[in-house]
Amino acid sequence: MTFPKVDELVRLFSVSVSERARALASRYGFRDYMVERYYMMFGDWGVVEELLRSFDRGLNKVVRCNTLRVPDCSYLVSRLGRLGFTLRGVSWCGYAFEVLSEGFVSLGATHEFLAGMYYVHRGLATLLPPIILSPKPSDRVLDLAAGVGGKTTHLSQIMGGSGVVVAVDIDRFKVRALRSNLERLGVCNVVVVRMDGRLVPEVFGEGFFSKVLLDAPCTGEGIIQVDRSRRFKTDVVDLARASQLQYELLLTALRSVCSGGYVLYSTCSIAPEEDEFVVDSVLNDLDGVEVVDIPKIIDFHPGITEFGRLRFSDELRRCVRTYPHVHGMEGFFICLLRKL
């Protein structure tokens, strides 16, 4: 099967917008097609309005104590406490802390930050993909769209600084920030490569990696709390282009991983067109790939199997979702795949 072209995807993803969706979109400042799709997801206008309101609530920043430099995170908590920060431990991640109130200086300007004692995440959900992939020191890990390195450095921390992580990104400015973060945090087991991630199998060979993390470039429809412009700047064409790139990158990830290896696919989007649709398309096009159950770290929502005219494999119930109005964090989609 050939993945649909952008114009075909636009026709497939387009929806008829109801008056109720138009009214809510006008009230909350969203594109009306987005609101209609939320009703298609939840089937309840009350829940849709809860979601729209939740995007107005800010996120608590999260400090990830860098155990490569700070073996005892209580030491970091104590130091930040003296600077006026109020932190709350994250029950499912012993080295992460929500920032309940800011201190006398910015989180990015403390001596502790500059010394690489912690990394600042925009919210809790970004911690989940590396934890779920759970790389071991013996793994060869590919971070296929590494960005500025939040997940790259987290992977390295979970591996205790051993093994190897190859961090790939095409953006020159993101790679520059990634290298800076690696140096600041004292990460020594990461190789940075600036290139189009779709070329990885040609450079490293097929099946070279034992685990792959693909936190794919997306429309960011789950992080409207962080960037309010995402309420209105993305149209159906943008959604179609994102879906096409995500499909290509996920195929690349599965070509790059060895038999028996794992690929974690995630997006900071709640759009099924970027999430279940992409995974389902890959499952239809490739043999020997299965969806793996994800540990119940939190009370996840399951993946979607029906969305408007689209129907997906029942396997996708094993994927998980987070929502701002349910989990108090970014909207995220996570799916763990195993190459047989």
Neighbours of 188 (CB within 10 A): 11
Largest CA distance in the chain: 59
User: Which residues are bridge partners to 212 per DSSP?
Assistant: 142, 263
- Give which of 224, 339, 318, 328 is closest to 275, Cα–Cα: 318
230: left (phi over 0), alpha (psi -120 to 50) or beta: alpha
Residue among 65, 268, 319, 335 flagged as catalytic: 268
Annotated catalytic residue 73: no
Query: Which amino acid, 159?
Result: M
Pairing of strands 62-65, 118-121: antiparallel
Buried b (16+ CB within 10 A) or exposed e, 71-109: eebeebbebbeeeebebeebeebebbbbbeeebeeebee
Give the distance, in angstroms, between the CA of residue 177 and the centroid of all CA atoms in the same chain.
Answer: 18
Give the distance, in angstroms, between the CA of residue 206 and the centroid of all CA atoms in the same chain.
Answer: 24
Catalytic residues: 268
